Structure 1
Amino acid sequence: MASPNDGFMGFPVALLFFGDMGLLFMLAHNSALNLYFFTLGISMMKRNKGDKQGITIGSVGKAVAKLIMNPNILALIAGLLLCGFGIKLPVPFNDYFLYVGNVATPMAMIYIGTSLAKSSFMEIIQDKKIIECCLMKLIWLPLITYAIMLIMPVSDIIKITCI
């Protein structure tokens, strides 16, 4: 199973290139992927590990409960509620979240750089499974998404952020 890791760099890039509206669509796309990944995705992975129970209402319910208690999802729900009801945070809180958000991208880049520095490039490019996953995630899935988006009756900004 392949899913995008669009949180580290994807959100800042979407904001930079597509503005607030592009970021909003990307957040919606990411939320849908998280819902899928943390419910059906986890159930599918458990089944592949030999769990014969597979996907049941109970297993999906447990996954949804875990998903709702995920700090990222709680923050998303809080943000949607604040935005939906037009509630503005006091300036100190707003500034705090702005500062934390501004630090996220450089910290993510440091983390990614550190992870890459620990990796052996030769081992990576010689591993057939890694190459297959990279081709699927970076070439085939975007092409399939692009083909689907061509026939979807949605705005261009939605098409671009989904790809």
Structure 2
Amino acid sequence: MFLRSISGVLIILILISVGYVLTQRGWFDENFSHVVSKIVTQIALPCYMINTITSKFSRGELFQIFPDLKFPILSMTILFFVAWLMQYVFRIDAKHRGLFKSMFSNSNTVFVGLPVNMALFGKASLPYVLIYYMANTTFFWTLGVYLIRLDGDAETKMTLKEVVQKIFSPPLLGFLLGVALVLMNISLPSFLNSDLKYIGNLTVPLSMFFIGMKLAQVGLTNIHWSKDMGGIFLGRFVLAPLLMMVLVAFAHVPVLMKQVFVIQAAMPVMTNAPVVAKLYGADSDYAAVMVTATTAFSLIMVPILMLIVVNQF
């Protein structure tokens, strides 16, 4: 399992390095990274979800995993309260407190979490990755966005329609469509399944390229240690996985689910945080540095977490 974790990290690191080097060489720019982000989230990932759900799971299996939503929901709720306390412990500047609490509590379950779990556990991990994703995306686009908005222009309003659209994003809609097809025993034509599979297979490599692009665009030399970063690291890589371990330790659920939930809980800051910060006039550079720092450090933390998870479960 240790060798598998090292191998999984190396796979991810090489893909990220390709995106980083090509961006440094001028092949990819800010506009291209934006296009890649849209391709992954709006096209490739929804196709991946539909194909995987319809081809790998039965109705019975789906009914078994939905109650597991309670674990990430409870974990993130507790983390938000812990983050509120930590903003005073680390003496976070008032203009950064909303971002701090949002980044402390929410993890990058798609661009990093999905490929990491696929590399470590294979396709069997997908339903648990998606269960965690459902809770995480709902928290971020409601409470997380509200907190970030308080750092910037608190008068800027996001309508109920916009909030619903953010929560029911293309990846989540792809997941729900796949679930609906399975529950209604509807089989897609083989040619359509092939198309969904081919497009869906773009998800992992493009996600890793995207992270490499963002690392290059922000610049690794711009990352400097600070008390804020220490607080975010504590939340993302220590408290979040530790809390999840406690919540699932004695639960009568598959071991794989426990392992995936712990890994998902310890993923870096969501890549959406800088975008939302810029939209509402908060400090987007502050958020971008935290995304970059936690993403880079996660490559070190994954093998360590895998050893802990294997010994724990």
CA distance in 1, matches of 2:259, 2:205: 25
Q: Which amino acid aligns with 1:104?
A: T
Matching residue of 1:64: 164
Moved more, 130-139 or 103-112: 130-139
1:93 corresponding residue in structure 2:
192
**Any idea what the Cα deviations from partners look like across 1:30-62, whole Å, max 9, x if unmatched?**
11111222223223333454638xxxxx97676
Is 1:150 aligned to residue 253 of structure 2?
A: no
Question: In structure 1, which of residues 14, 20, 43 is the aligned counterpart of residue 117 of structure 2?
Answer: 14
| Structure 2 residue 135 is matched with structure 1 residue 35 | no
Task: Work out the CA distance in 2 between the residues paired with 1:151 and 1:27.
Answer: 22
Match of 1:45 in 2: 148
Bigger relative contact order, structure 1 or 2 (CA pairs below 8 A, ≥6 apart)? 2
Q: CA-to-partner distance for each residue in 1:97-145, whole Å, 9 max, x for gaps?
A: 1111112211122221222223332321334433432332122221222
Query: Given that residues 117 and 129 in structure 2 are in contact (C-alpha distance below 8 angstroms), is that contact kept between their aligned partners in structure 1?
Result: yes
Q: TM-score, normalised by structure 1?
A: 0.77
Q: Which moved more, 1:26-35 or 1:131-140?
A: 131-140
Q: Which residue of 1 aligns with 2:206?
A: 107
Shift of 1:147: 2.4
How has the CA–CA distance of structure 1 residues 160 and 45 changed in structure 2, closer, same or farther, with 3 Å as cutoff?
same
Cα displacement (A) at 1:28: 0.9
Aligned twin of 1:55: none
How far apart, in 2, do the equivalents of 1:123 and 1:98 lie?
39
Taking a change above 3 Å as real, the CA distance of residues 112 and 47 of structure 1, as seen in their structure-2 partners, is: closer
State percent identity of aligned pairs: 25
- State the distance in 2 between where 1:152 and 1:119 align: 41
**How many angstroms apart in 2 are the aligned matches of 1:40 and 1:119?**
26
The one of 138, 162, 181 equivalent to 1:82 is 181
| TM-aligned CA distance change 1:71 to 1:121, over 3 Å | same
How many residue pairs match? The answer is: 159
Moved more, 119-128 or 73-82: 119-128
Q: Which amino acid aligns with 1:11?
A: L
Unaligned regions of 5+ residues in structure 1, if any?
A: 53-57
TM-score (ref. length: structure 2): 0.44
Unaligned ranges ≥5, structure 2: 1-101, 263-313
